[in-house]
Amino acid sequence: MKFLFHNSLKGLLWFSAILTLAAVMALLLFLFKMGVPAISIEFFFGDTDPIKALFLQQRVFDGLFPAMVGTFLVVSLSVIWAIPLGLFIGIYLAEFCSPRVRKYLDFSFDLLAATPSIVIGLFGLTVAIFLHRHLSNQIYPCLLISSISLAVLILPYIVRTTQLSIETVPFSIRMTGLSLGASRLQNLFSAILPNALSGILSGIILALGRSAEDTAVIMLTGVVATAGIPRSVLAKFEALPFYIYYISSQYTDRNELLSGFGAALVLLIICGLLFISAHLIKTTVVRRINGL
C-alpha cells in the first residue's frame, strides 16, 4: 500500500509538472505566433528616423521605443530605492532584531506582501497629491512617484529572501568567524553574507521581474499613453505594461491588437534578458566570493 501511494504521488507530481510546462509552452507559442508579425522597425520607431530617436534628437510618436525606455527607467529606479533598504531590513531581522520586534515586523512585511498592487498605486497617488498641495504645485504623478511606489511593492520580496537566506546559513559557518575572534559585525560580512549571497541575489532577480510587469501601480502614479521619453524624474512616462493594457482594451482594428501582442512579446524578451543578466551577475559574484 505504501509503495502504491508513493508511485501514485510521484505520478501525480510528474503529471502536474508536464501539464504546467505544456500550458507555458502553449502560451509562449501563441504569443510568438501573434506577436512576431507585428514587429518591425516602424513598430519601434514609427515614422521617426531610428538614429535620431536613439540619440534623443527626435521624438517617437507611433512607436514602442519610448515605452521601452520608460520601463527600463522605472524598473531601474525602483530597484535602486528598494535594494539597499530591503537588504538592511533583512539583515536586521535575521541578525540583530529582538524576538518581540521581529514578530511585529514579520507580520508587517507579510501584510505588505499581500497588499494588492492597486492599493499601493493609490498610496503613490495620495503621496503625489499631498506633495502637490503642501510642497510644490509642480509635483504631479510622475516617474519618481511610480518608482517609489514600485519599490514599496517589491520591498517585501527583497526583505524576505535576504532574511531567509541569512537564517539558513549553517551553524558551523556562523561560528567560523566568531571562533577566530571576529566581532559579530565582522563575522556577518566575512562569513554569513558571502554564503547567503546566492539566495539574496535570487530575491533581487524576482523583484526585477515583479517591478517590470506591474500595471496597476504605474497606471495611477504617472504613466500615460503618449508622454515620450521623460526628461526628468518629475515627468510623466510611457511603459510597456500600460501600453499593452491600453492597446488591448481600446484597439479599433486587428493591426492595433497585433501591436499589443508584439508589445507583450517585447516585454517578455526584456524580462528574460533581465533575468539572464542578473543570473550571470549572480553566478559570477558567487564564484568570485567562493574563489572558484
Q: Are residues 7 and 113 both part of a single domain? A: no
Beta carbons within 8 Å of 70's beta carbon, 6+ residues apart? 143, 223, 227, 229, 230, 237, 238, 239, 240
pLDDT at 18: 92
Residue 2 has a pLDDT of 62
Residues facing residue 237 across a β-bridge: 223
pLDDT, averaged per 10 consecutive residues of the chain (292 residues), comes to: 69 87 90 88 88 85 88 91 93 88 88 89 91 84 92 92 88 77 80 83 83 86 86 90 86 84 89 80 73 56
Residue 192: its pLDDT value, please? 85
Co-location of 267 and 205 in the same domain: yes
Q: Are residues 45 and 34 in the same domain?
A: no
Identify the CATH number of the domain in which residue 107 sits: 1.10.3720.10
Is the pTM here over 0.75, yes or no? Answer: yes
pLDDT, tens digit, 9 for 90 and up, residues 91-100: 999 888 888 8
On whether both 217 and 265 belong to a single domain, the answer is yes
SS3 at position 48: coil
Assess whether 23 and 87 both reside in one domain.
no
Residues 23 and 82 both lie in one domain: no
For the chain, the domain total comes to 2
**Cβ contacts of residue 142 below 8 Å, gap of 6+?**
128, 221, 222, 230, 233, 234, 235, 236, 237
- Do residues 215 and 174 both lie within one domain? yes
Residue 18 to residue 22: CA distance in whole angstroms: 6
Q: Answer yes or no: do 78 and 52 share one domain.
A: yes
Range of the domain at 31: 1-38
